[in-house]
Amino acid sequence: MSLLSIFATAILPVVVVAAAGFALGRMKGTDPDALNTITVYVLAPALVVHSLTTSALAGDTILSVVLAVLLFTAAMLAVAEAVGRLTGHSEPLLGAFVLVAVFPNTGNYGIPLADFAFGATGRSTAVLVTALQGVLLYTVGIYIAARGNASSPLADMRRVFGVPLVYAVVVALALRWLGAVPPADSTLMQTLELLGNASIPVMLLILGIQLSSVDGDSSLESVGTASAMKLLLAPVLAFAAVLAVGFQNQTVARVVVLLLATPTGVTTIILVGAFSHGTGERSPGELVSATVFLTTVVSAVTVTVLVWLLQSGWML
């Protein structure tokens, strides 16, 4: 497929729906909290359970995905920490820099993207990676955001036990292991499919609404460096992690690379706002917000090229 075809089929739907959310946020002042609550507690768990129980992903493939995500995250953390210190960042700005460079938007950007680009396999892989990212964000992410504060972030890491996606993954895998997955034409599975399908456009609307309230004032140098790491370095390290782990299913491997190369996750704004209390001319919140916005906009180009490389076989 040509770059234009890939953009039209995989990227443009993401951009259009997110743009509609952005317009709603700007013109109507729409509050995304209600949509967030519905998605987090109803739509996304339904998507996870339906996708994983009906997925053809084998147990060894799931393990490979977990290992690749962990290896990528460890490598990106090490590089981001080193680059942040070498470029003169100190806490709490250093923590914010590391967060935006490391953690991708695998949820309300990555799941729809993987679905449009790689179909059912893409969706199943994306929901698994998103659940893993949820655990990492509410453990490692909280620790990084809160570094340098007087209070310990360890107690706040309990938030991971409130992430419904984690439990949805456990339920789905347990049903598969026990051989207790209901028939595809059952009322339960059809209901889960209906709710799961609804989550994809809603996630994109939430992304657009959240971006509409982003304040882009921050240091161009810091934002540019973090954005380059997220959009250019991350795909390279994701590719290396996938090769190091080894995948029997090449489509899953490609989806993992794509997901880890998505723009900075919006959740980083929440973490920095809740746990980082920096003062001064350059605040952590401004750095995170500006990087989320810039990487999301520029990803329309970088992700299109990456999808072309993956689908054409140039990578994997």
The CA-based diameter of the chain, rounded to the nearest angstrom, is 58
Query: Across 104-256, where does the E strand assignment appear?
Result: none
Look at residue 279 in the predicted model and tell me its pLDDT: 55
Q: Which two tokens stand for residue 109?
A: 């950007």
The three-class DSSP label of residue 32 is: coil
Cα dist. 132→57, 222, 249 in Å? 16, 27, 19
Look at residue 165 in the predicted model and tell me its pLDDT: 81
For the 3-210+222-311 domain, the top CATH level (class) is mainly alpha
Instruction: Locate the domains of the chain by residue range.
Output: 3-210+222-311
Other Cβ atoms less than 10 A from the Cβ of 242: the count is 27
Name every residue whose Cβ is closer than 8 Å to that of residue 7 and which is 6 or more positions away in sequence.
Answer: 300, 304
Looking at this protein, which amino acid is placed at residue 259?
A: L
Look at residue 99 in the predicted model and tell me its pLDDT: 95
Look at residue 191 in the predicted model and tell me its pLDDT: 97
The three-class DSSP label of residue 35 is: helix
Are 141 and 99 a contacting pair, CB within 8 Å? yes
Reported pTM: 0.89
pLDDT in tens, the chain (316 residues): 678 888 998 899 999 999 999 999 999 888 888 898 899 899 999 999 999 899 888 889 999 999 999 999 999 999 999 999 999 888 888 999 999 999 999 998 999 999 999 999 999 999 999 989 988 988 899 888 887 665 565 666 676 677 788 889 889 989 998 999 999 999 999 999 999 999 999 999 999 998 888 765 556 788 999 999 999 999 999 999 999 999 989 999 999 999 999 999 988 988 888 777 655 556 788 888 889 999 999 999 999 999 999 998 887 7
CA 248, CA 251: separation in Å to the nearest integer?
9
Residue whose structure tokens are 């960042």:
89
